[in-house]
Each structure stands twice: as structure tokens, then as C-alpha cells.
Amino acid sequence: MPKQKEGFKGQRLISISPEIILNSQNNPINKTLYVTKIGFFPAVKYHYNNKEKGVDYFIILYCTSGEGWCKIGEKSFTVSENQYVILPPKTPYSFGANSGNPWTIYWIHFRGTLASTFLNFPIIPIQILPESNSRLQDRIQLFEEIYANLELSYHSDHYSYATICLYHFLGSFKYVEQFRRIRNVDIVENGFSEKVIYFMRENVETNLTLGQLATHFNLSTSHFCARFQEETKLSPIKYFITLKIEKACQYIELSNLKISDIYPKLGFQDAAYFSRTFVKIMGISPTKYRLRERHS
């Protein structure tokens, strides 16, 4: 089976230079926790990494779709959608994507005097299931904020701000209940469709099926569809796809991501299908949409 460390379609990564890291150490904040490398790999078939002698940094792997595997010492385990694992330094490990259902992962290499406080024992994948207040998209937004500031890391203030965001990002895993409750959305009194839409937004970067949606709300497929359409006048899947295109518009307008990087993030496996869907909903191609919005 082919194996590949890096160089995947749609991948993004930033490796911070030793000079920037050294200069940042004048700020006490950056001594406690700091990024050395960060990246995003979408559906990376054949992804593989092997560190027989371990490394001198921690690494968090956050899987948002698909599946991979990880081996630490003699222990092996699967890493699936909505799971994360933090690997310690000075420990032999290897990991890679499931070739049949390759994972999409957000990952960060980090060091610092307080880095070990975010490590969980035993070192196994931990699941964060989507719920009404799970804030999955807020967590991804934190990652994007770290990434955007590291693109400007030659400026020490951006690097220091990325460190502060890293505390928040790692804290969202370590203190998941507190992360959820602090922004708890009171949807108890909301209508059925509002609860469904909130759940869809939390999962906008996955491929929820109609059956999965109905099961989550403890309804049969037919009853689920009837209730949702009664309130929204749209089918659940059509609404979900519309939310995906809405999210695509945000990425197109607010980031420098290439179109080829955006559609895999939203669960589209085919560029042509994504483009047709975008045109159908927005009336214009993704490329022309970017040109129009940047010149309006």
C-alpha cells in the first residue's frame, strides 16, 4: 500500500522557523505554550507518519471525518470522526489514514512549560459527540484563528496571540463541558426545526444522512421529514446542503483558501458536483462569486 507523509491535495500547513520561536521566547506567554507546526489534511488517503525515536514536541490530532489509526509503543487504536488524541514527546509512535475511509484531520505540534497539562491519561482517542451545545464549529474557528495569525508569525504580536488562542483551542478539549456550557444555547423552548438546524450547523463539515438525522432526534425517517418540512417548507437534506453552501461562501469571502481546499472541508468529494450545487443555490460559480464579492 502506498504511504505518504505530506503533499496531499487540499492540505495546508505552516512550519514556524526556529528564529521566530527563539525571538518569541522574550515574551513569558510564549514560554508556557507555543506552536511549532500546524496543518489541515482533508480526506488524506495514504497519509502516514512514523516516529521510531519519538519527537521533542506534543501533537494533537483532531479527526472531523473519516478514520485513521495510531500506534503508541505497543498499543494500537483507531481514531474516528469526532475524536482526538494528544501524543506526548519522547515516545515512539506512528499514525496514518484508513485507506478505505481516510480521515480529515486538524493537527498542531506544540511545546512549552505547560504543554504537558493538556495531556490525557491513558493516551487514547477521546470522543466529542455533536450535541445541541457542542460548539464544534467554534472549535474549528479557533483553529483557523491560530492558523491565520501564524501566517503572520514574523510579527511577534501575531505569534503571541496565536499562543493565547492555542490555550483556548486545547482547553476546548481538556475542559469540554465548560467549553460547552459557557455558551449554552437555550433551545429547549425553540421549535423542532430550530433544534435540527442547530444540529446541522454543528455538523456542516460532515455528511449527515437523512437516517442519521432522524435517529438523532429519535424519530422515524418519514416522521422526521414531515415535521421538518411542515416548519421550514424544505426537505432536511436540501436545507443541510444549503447550509454547506452558506459555509462555503464564508470561506470564499473571509479566507484565502483555494476553492479546491474548500469543498472537501464541507464533505463534498467531487469538485464538479460542488460547483453545480453552488451554482444552483447561489446562481453563480464559486470562482465568480469570489471575484464579485472582492470587487463589490
Name the average pLDDT for the chain. Answer: 89
Q: Look at residue 33 and tell me if it is in a domain.
A: yes
Residues 104 and 67 in one domain: yes
Q: What is the C-alpha to C-alpha distance for residues 44 and 197, in angstroms, rounded to an integer? A: 29
- pLDDT at residue 293 in the model: 82
Q: Look at residue 223 and tell me if it is in a domain.
A: yes
For 95, the domain range is 12-181
Residues 128 and 222 in one domain: no
Q: Give the count of alpha carbons within 13 A of 31, CB side only.
A: 4
Domain final position from 127, 155, 181 = 181
Instruction: Judge whether residue 287 has pLDDT over 90.
Output: yes
Q: Which residues contact 263 (CB under 8 A, 6 or more apart)?
A: 248, 271, 274
- pLDDT at residue 127 in the model: 93
Residues 154 and 19 in one domain: yes
- pLDDT at residue 43 in the model: 84
Q: What percent of the chain has pLDDT over 90?
A: 61
Cis amide prior to 18 (ω within 30 degrees): no
The single-letter DSSP state of residue 88 is P
Instruction: Judge whether residue 9 has pLDDT over 70.
Output: no
Q: Which residues contact 171 (CB under 8 A, 6 or more apart)?
A: 118, 178, 179
Q: Look-up: residue for cell 472541508?
A: 265
* CATH code: domain of residue 132: 2.60.120.280
Domain final position from 140, 162, 181 = 181
| Structural domain count, the chain | 2
Residue-wise pLDDT for 74-132, tens only, equals: 899 999 999 999 999 999 999 999 988 999 999 999 999 999 999 988 999 999 987 76
- pLDDT at residue 71 in the model: 95
Rounded to an integer, the average pLDDT of 7-13 is 72
- pLDDT at residue 222 in the model: 95
The single-letter DSSP state of residue 235 is -
Check residues 292 and 4 and name the one with the higher pLDDT: 292
Residues 33 and 154 in one domain: yes
- pLDDT at residue 200 in the model: 92
Residue-wise pLDDT for 130-141, tens only, equals: 776 788 889 999
Residue-wise pLDDT for 43-71, tens only, equals: 877 788 999 889 999 999 999 989 999 99
- pTM for the model stands at 0.67
Query: What is the residue type of 45?
Result: K
User: Would you place residue 189 in the very low, low, confident or very high pLDDT band (cuts 50, 70, 90)?
Assistant: low
CA proximity to 162, closest of 20, 52, 4 = 20
User: Would you place residue 191 in the very low, low, confident or very high pLDDT band (cuts 50, 70, 90)?
Assistant: confident
- pLDDT at residue 1 in the model: 39
Q: Look-up: residue for cell 463541558?
A: 177
Residue-wise pLDDT for 147-165, tens only, equals: 999 998 777 889 999 999 9
Domain final position from 155, 181, 207 = 181
- pLDDT at residue 11 in the model: 83
Residues 132 and 93 in one domain: yes
